[in-house]
Amino acid sequence: MKKIIITLVIAMSTLGAFAREDNVSPKVLDAFNTEFTTAKEVKWTAGNNYYKATFIYNEKYVFAYYNPDGELLGLTRYISPVDLPVNLQSSLKKNYVDYWVSNLFEVAKNDGTVYYITLENADTKIVLRSYGGSEWSAYQKIRKS
């Protein structure tokens, strides 16, 4: 019985994180609909001080983050290595030839674009970051067991 109650509590708290469009601030909806007029399959999530829209835009999944006043805080999207700036692609080919890409996404904010890439080999997982597409810097390195 305890397990059932705990499962129900977890399920209800998870469902509470999702916001129907009628629970999203009108300022946020206005800003989103103005900026992304061709967005498809929009789903909203509400956080403590933000709203997150998950949607398809130009045939790609995009995540937009807004504050309650309707100000766009940033956008994220998963990308392919071929979508990276050429100098970042070259750096990967030159310095990380023994690794494969397991995750790559772009974060676009008012102050610029940041790329995060996760590279792996049999022993190590490395996360690199690039501000503005100029060069990679180590963000995190994890030894696999």
Examine the pLDDT at 47 and tell me if it is beyond 50.
yes
Confidence of residue 2 (pLDDT cuts 50, 70, 90): very low
pLDDT single digits (tens) 83-95: 999 999 999 999 9
Residue 82, number of CB atoms within 10 A of its CB = 7
Q: What is the pLDDT at residue 14?
A: 39
Residue 17 has pLDDT above 50, yes or no: no
In tens, the pLDDT along 93-134 reads 999 999 999 999 999 998 899 999 999 999 999 999 999 888
